Structure 1
Amino acid sequence: MPLSEQEQRLLDEMERNLYRNDADFVAAVGGRGRPNYRSIVLGVLLAVAGIAGLIAGVALQILVIGVLGFALMFVGVLIAITPAKGSAPRRPSSPSGKAARKPNAGFMDRLNERWDRRQDGEQ
């Protein structure tokens, strides 16, 4: 069942607020970047070769070949679904001109920083 116009507008507004107010969540969940087609193709080829090895191991009743085929298939799937190193979305810079927080800042430090930003009216 499709959304009504009012529900669609409300959903769009909620999404805009999410992107504006919670950049950390958006960086972690959304915006995965462009897919790396080379790693996808390589992963699929390895997975197909792994399936062939698994089937050959079962057909020949050789446990080592079956286990190696399964391992190859598993590695192929991991390569195919792992995002590229450079595909992570960039974090937006702080609009207030404050220095960006350290990547190794603790949970409480981040919470305090967000509280301070909200109290300053940045939201």
Structure 2
Amino acid sequence: MELSEEELRLLEQMERALVEEDPKLASTLRGTSIVRTARRRMIAGGAIVVVGIGLLIVAVLLELSSVLQTVVGVVGFVVMLGGAILALTSARTPHQAPKVRSSGRTGFGVVDGGRPHRPGRPGRQRSGAPFMERMEERWRRRRERGF
């Protein structure tokens, strides 16, 4: 269903007012600045990795004392590792919100962010008993078995 001319005009006015009032919120809602920032961080991380590799090559090629060669090599590795971490952490999609599973009850949900369950292996089931009752039951069973 298309919007009428008046609705389009009102929408544009609201958008302009939002940009004037809170430009940071407007750019966040658009999502373009987040993508640009992630892209810049990936490029910077890649450049830092190249600098680290260059330091490693310099350490190998130059005839330095063994201590200095080791220090330059370790610094090159640390720089390369830092660049890789920067590039890889920005490669995640920052503009996607985590999915929330609702347990059917009102209140807080569980955020999906952990390991996905394997198809043949269901997740661990929690009993409805409070934590201390479960611990007491486990302790009682251990004593009965002799452990």
TM-score (norm 1): 0.46
The structure in which a higher percent of residues are strand is: 2
In the superposition, the TM-score normalised over structure 2's length comes to 0.40
Pair member with larger Rg? 2
